[in-house]
Amino acid sequence: MNTVEVKKIWEEIKSELSNIVPESSYGPWIAPLEAVSFEDNQFTLISNAAFAVKYLRENHYKTILDCFRNHFGKEIIVNIEFNQEYADKLKKEKQKEERKLQKEKKEEEEHNRSIKNLSYVKSLNINLRYRFDNFVEDSNNKIAKAAAESVAKNPTATYNPLYIQGGSGLGKTHLMQAIGHYVTLKGNLKVQCIKTEDFINDYVNSTRFTPNQNKNTTIAMNKFRNKYRNVDILLIDDIQFIENKQKCIDELFHTLDTLYNANKQIVLTSDKLPKDLPEIPKRLRTRFEQGLVVEIKPPEFETRVKILKNLALEKGVENIPQEVFEYIAKYYKDNVRELEGAFTKVNAYSDIEETPITLDYAKKVLKCEENLAKPTIEKVIETVADFYDLSSDEIKSTSRVQNISNARSLVSYIAREKLQNSYESIATALNKRHQTITYSVDKTKKELKINKNLNTELNKILKILSLQ
């Protein structure tokens, strides 16, 4: 009889035995027996324990023989033998099973921990989308990425502070948050990840009590300092916005000093190099430069294509022709946010209009060729400056002198309303905050309704720019 059949018979008899023999004997001694042969009326079972053979012969042999007799309808000789090989095999299987269970337990613990960490990461304003593994690398951002990864893996051991500089939309926030994400998921270090604006607002809120509320001010200030100084890693985004905020500058200086001296890691990002932030006192700028300053430059064409492909994958959009990615990558060179925005726009239109994404469709939606012919924001700044006898630098400065500030508002208005530039790109070109530009555009719109002179001047400028 072949082994498969033999094993099948044993399974049937075993099932009978499980009903008769008490579980305390069946489980440990009968269940592990394995059938190996049935020849010349002899049925052979092997056991993994010498003791089991003796025990079964003395206590349950008769019952076993009865079951075999019932099954075959005749007397069968049943051999129960100890088998070392089988014992080893079972031992190995048991060990393997235990290892598997341990691994599963560890994985489950890890999973629970990472779920806990994930909600913690979210509570720290860390965008889970920003990771090292989805940051596309090329020669223009390689150093910045390597430095950020090194800081994430070994905080304070390498570069402190790490200062990441790059134009708008080139991945500074992505890398900074990837550090926060990595460190937080690893678990044991306390991270604080904030925008400079939040630091400023927090500071202002902590100091705005009147003098007779001294006690409250002290409490608020202690809370503020605890938040920013009692951490292992402080990540501050867009540090250029601290310019001109004298009191905050002092506080930031002391915050960085305290952290640095306590051997805690600091990471800063900015759209300007420390040396190009003249309004920030030298003592703070030297702090910025003390560790490592890395620059991110706009990505190469291939990188832009790859970023778009990753985005399509992330959004679950399939079957997009390569030429669509290449078309978008060709025109959006300087800002990855705008590059991604262009793809998102084509994708959204295609969803709404239920039209597949082809090169012609992308061209129809984005009109890149037409937009290319439009004057750039720089050109608008130059033209408006010329018109009012100012310099481009004055328009980009922080000066609040009336005629300069008015000219600046007009630039914002033209760039936004006539050229449909994003508030963000206007803010970058003018070195201002997004909100400042929104405010200027609204103010100019209102002014144009009542101010005839301003209308005339605007029309003349639009003519020079060939926008009328």
Beta partners for 49?
A: none
Q: Which is nearer to Mg ion, 296 or 312 (CB)?
A: 296
Nearer CB in complex with Mg ion: 267/458: 267
Q: Which does 409 bind (CB under 5 to 8 A by kind): ligand ADP, Mg ion, none?
A: none
Does 421 participate in binding Mg ion (rule CB under 5 A)?
Answer: no
Residue number with CB closer to Mg ion (64 or 296):
296
Closer residue to ligand ADP, CB minimum distance, 297 or 443? 297
Neighbouring-strand partners of residue 295: 165
Give me the residue whose beta carbon is nearest to ligand ADP: 171
Binding at 168: pick from Mg ion, ligand ADP, none (beta carbon under 5-8 Å per type):
ligand ADP
For ligand ADP, the closer of residues 47 and 335 by Cβ is 335
Distances from the Cα of 257 to the Cαs of 147, 163, 350, 468, in angstroms?
A: 21, 15, 52, 55
Binding mask 361-400 for Mg ion (x = CB under 5 A): ----------------------------------------
Helix (H, G, I), strand (E, B) or coil at 87: helix
CA pair distance 412, 425, nearest whole angstrom: 10
Q: Are 395 and 404 in contact (CB under 8 A)?
A: yes
What is the chain's Cα-based Rg?
A: 37
- The four Cα atoms 414, 417, 423, 427 give a dihedral, to 10 degrees, of 10
Choose the one of Mg ion, ligand ADP, none that binds residue 86, judging by a C-beta under 5 to 8 angstroms depending on kind.
none
The site partner of 135 among Mg ion, ligand ADP, none (C-beta below 5 to 8 Å per kind) is: ligand ADP
Partner whose binding site includes residue 309, from Mg ion, ligand ADP, none (CB under 5 to 8 Å by kind):
none
Residue 184 or residue 428: which is nearer to ligand ADP going by CB?
428
Residue 464 burial (C-beta neighbours within 10 Å; 0-12, 13-18, 19+)? middle
Residue 196 engages Mg ion in binding (rule: CB under 5 A): no
173, 270, 335, 421: which one contacts Mg ion (CB under 5 A)? 173
State the helix-helix crossing angle for 377-387 and 402-413, rounded to 10 degrees.
140
Cα–Cα distance list, 466 to 374, 383, 406, 457 (Å): 9, 11, 22, 14
Q: How near is the Cβ of 154 to ligand ADP at its closest, in Å?
A: 22
DSSP one-letter string for 198-245: HHHHHHHHHH-S-GGGHHHHHHHHHHHHHHHHS-SEEEEE-GGGGTT-
| Residue found by looking up tokens 């992330």 in the block | 314
Helical packing angle, 142-153 and 172-186, nearest 10°:
20
Let me know the angle formed at the C-alpha of 352 by 351 and 356, rounded to the nearest 5 degrees. 45
Nearer to ligand ADP, 98 or 314 (CB): 314
> Minimum distance between the CB of residue 422 and ligand ADP, rounded to whole angstroms?
12
> Minimum distance from CB of 170 to ligand ADP (Å)?
4
Decide whether 13 or 170 has the Cβ nearer to ligand ADP.
Answer: 170
* CB of 103 vs Mg ion, minimal distance in Å: 40
Footprint on this chain of ligand ADP (rule: CB under 6 A): 130, 135-136, 141, 166, 168-174, 299, 307, 336-337, 340
Contact residues for Mg ion (CB under 5 A)? 173
